[in-house]
Each structure stands twice: as C-alpha cells, then as structure tokens.
Structure 1
Amino acid sequence: MADPYLVPGSEGLLRNEIGLTTIEELWEAEYHYAEVGAAELFASQRNIRISMRGWRTVHKVLFRDVYDWAGEYRTVFLIKDNERGRSRFCEPSRIEAEGTRVLDGLKATLRHLDHAPFEKIAEEFAGAYVDLNQVHPFREGNGRSQKVFFSLIARRYGIQLNWAEIFPEEHNKAAVDGSFGELGLICQHFRSIAERRSGNTVTLSYPVRQEND
C-alpha cells in the first residue's frame, strides 16, 4: 500500500507545506524550522505536561510550518533499517497506550527526584527514552521532538540535558542497542548530559543535526 505521507511517484519525499522537491532541501528546512520552534517553546516558559498530549504539542510547534500532520500520530506502520537489522516500531493503534505507560513511569520516578541518587534519575530518563523511541508516534521528527520534549520536562525539575554533547551516530547506536535490551550506552549518555541546576538556569541544548530521526 502506498504511503500517504509521501509525494506520489517520489523516492521517499514527504509531502510538505513549503513546496520542497528534494529530500536534501527538506532535511535542511526541517532542521531550521524545528530549531526555531524549540527556541520558541523554551522562551515561552510554556508548561508542557508529561503526557503524550505534551509530546504532540511539542511536535506540532516544531513542524507546523513543514507538515500539515504535525502533532498527529502516524497512521502507517514504520520499519527502519539499522546496523543490527531492522527496528519495527509500535503499531499505530497502540501508540497512545504504550506512550502513556512509559510516561506515567517517568512521572513516578520524578516524584522521588530529591530522594534518589541523581545518577539513578538519569538512567530512568534513559530507559524511558529508549521505550518512547520504540513507540515512534510520528511519521517524521520523532528524535528531535522527543529530545525537546524531554528537555522541557527536565527543566521543570531543574535538570539540564546537554544534547549537543552527544555525537548523533553514537546516540543512534545507543538507541538501537537499547531496543535490544542493552542499555549500557544510552545510560552512559544520559549520565553525561544530565545535570542539576538551580533557579531558571536551564537552557535549550538543541541536538546536532542528523539526517533522519
């Protein structure tokens, strides 16, 4: 069955609101618009809930000028090739339930922020990140919106996430390993990028550009 998100007859080009006709141009535009949207969210001090609705809001702000389906769950199955074979993401009908399950667990963890070792909190973020990556709720822009979503959640608790300190290729490998139950590298990443800060000193660290997330 044809993918309804693609330009008919194209080699994988997503339908877009800005009339771009090559994948390379679209990647460039996506990155620009998403970076602007992320800065807008941080500047607004908007209270983003720890919920799938919160993630959808973030995705919509990041990609509203690029895709007419920004902030909406995908309606197609997604499979992505990687160095270990293929990742099969959550089926569309289970996105809301699976995502909510993971985020409820993260909320429960954050209630104990002041009573648990911070390293443990960072590792809980890592586990939730891997699980939500497998949910992969949107047709495109999952990685970028998830990082901004996590940054906004963390800010509420005085936690800085320094995404720019991670090499994209290594982070992709960590996410893939995590999907196979190997959480060592992704936990290492979160321990290295998460730090406690006081007051309003948490800033936006936008992820380094990568081709496809």
Structure 2
Amino acid sequence: MKNDTLEQEFKYSNGTLRNKLGITQSEFLSSMEFNTVSQRIKAIKLNPNKFKVNSISDFKLMHRFLFGRIYSWAGQDRHEHRPPYDLSKNGHQFQPWSSMDMAEKWINRELADTNAKVKPLAIDYANLLIDINELHPFREGNGRTTKIFLQTIAGQHKQELWFPRYQGELVKAMNNVDFEEVSRIIKVVNR
C-alpha cells in the first residue's frame, strides 16, 4: 500500500490520526489519548492477575484494551490489515509485514523462555523489548503497550521493571539493537 493511501486511511487531511471520537485536532487527541491510556494502564497495574502474558496474542489484546476506545484498528497488527503495510519512523524501518508471522513465532519462544524462569534478568527483558519494538505491529501505541506488557511479565515474576524517564538513550540503544546497553538502561527490581 502506498504511503498516500495509508495517510488517507489512517489520518485526517490535517495529519491527525483518525479516531472513534471524531477529534480532528492533534493536540486535543493527544490529550484524550494520554488520559484514556493512562487510566487503562492504571487498571492493568491495579488488577495484574487479570492480564496474564504468555504470547504475542496477549500483546495484541493489551493494545486493544489500551487504545480500543480511541482507534478502530487497536489490536490489529500491520500484517492483519488489508492490505498489509510496512512501517518506518524517523528513518528506522521496522519488521517488514511479510515476515511478521516468523517474528511473532520467535517472540513467542522468547516469551516462553522468559516465563519459564523464576527471576528473569534485565537481558531477558532487553531481548523482548528490542524484538517487540522491531516488530512494531501497530500504527500507534507500540512503545506504551510494550512497556506495560513487559512490566506485566515482570509482575508475574514478582519483579518490577523500570524504564528511564527520558527515553533518548533507550531508543538509540534499541534502534542499534544493542541488547547489552538496553539491559543496562532498564532496571529490574526483585520484590
């Protein structure tokens, strides 16, 4: 699918993402999205037993839970879209849609290995963080969904996972696929 066709499908003419709320001003949409998603993240954190994380399918369900009140495509990844499409951001090309099935299988194996550990290490979370970021299945909300997804996994292991307040260093390490640097930046706290 060409970029201009995608732009028309996903954005209003002024560049604001099309949404269920009919909001056409990006600043107002950002505010509503922030408030809605923050409330949903809080619900996940307050009810961790309701959100078990075992596969990338759970990641999609979490995205739908976080963003479903705002976007009709929430939880639907790029290769499920008709037609499927590739995605890049700031010159960084994410997983091509044609190999997303294979990447999801890889991530599911990583999730199984991580969940099998009593106390996963920062490198385990770094591997998942980088691989899910490279998958980048959704038009919007990948980073926020990935963070709460990984924090939920940590919670299942009686751990807390902390990300830096300022993301520049982390994003650079993820884009460089530097697992060791990412594992140094994120913090795992055992409870």
Same-fold call, TM cutoff 0.5: yes
Indicate which of 48, 53, 59 corresponds to 1:55: 59
Deviations 1:139-183 (A, max 9, x none): 1100000111111111111110123x43122222222222xxx33
Q: CA deviation at 1:108?
A: 1.1
Corresponding position of 2:166:
167
**When the two structures are aligned, how many residues end up with a matched partner?**
180
Following superposition, the deviation at residue 189 of structure 1 comes to 1.3
* Amino acid in structure 2 at the alignment position of 1:188: R
% identical equivalent positions:
25
Q: TM-score, normalised by structure 1?
A: 0.77
For structure 2, the 5+ residue unaligned runs are: 79-83
Partner deviation per Cα, 1:33-53 (whole Å, 9 max, x = no partner): 111111112223213232111
- Mapped to 1, the partners of 2:25 and 2:168 lie a distance apart of 23
Question: Do the aligned partners of residues 100 and 48 (structure 1) sit closer, same or farther apart at CA in structure 2, a change above 3 Å counting?
Answer: farther
CA RMSD after TM alignment = 1.8
Aligned to 1:189: 185
CA offset at residue 98 of structure 1?
A: 0.6
Match of 2:94 among 52, 70, 89: 89
1:113 and 2:108 matched: no
How far, CA to CA, are the matches of 2:169 and 2:27 in structure 1? 22
Taking the aligned partners of 1:63 and 1:109, their CA distance within structure 2 comes to 26
Corresponding position of 2:81 = none
Residue segments in structure 1 that go unaligned for 5+ positions in a row: 198-213
Aligned counterparts of 1:166 and 1:96: Cα–Cα separation in 2: 32
> Post-superposition, which runs of at least 4 consecutive aligned residues in structure 1 deviate over 4 A?
none
Deviation, structure 1 residue 59 = 0.4
| Equivalent position amino acid for 1:159 in 2 | Q
- 1-side partners of 2:101 and 2:29: how far apart? 28
- 1:144-159 matches, within 5 Å, as 144-159=144-159
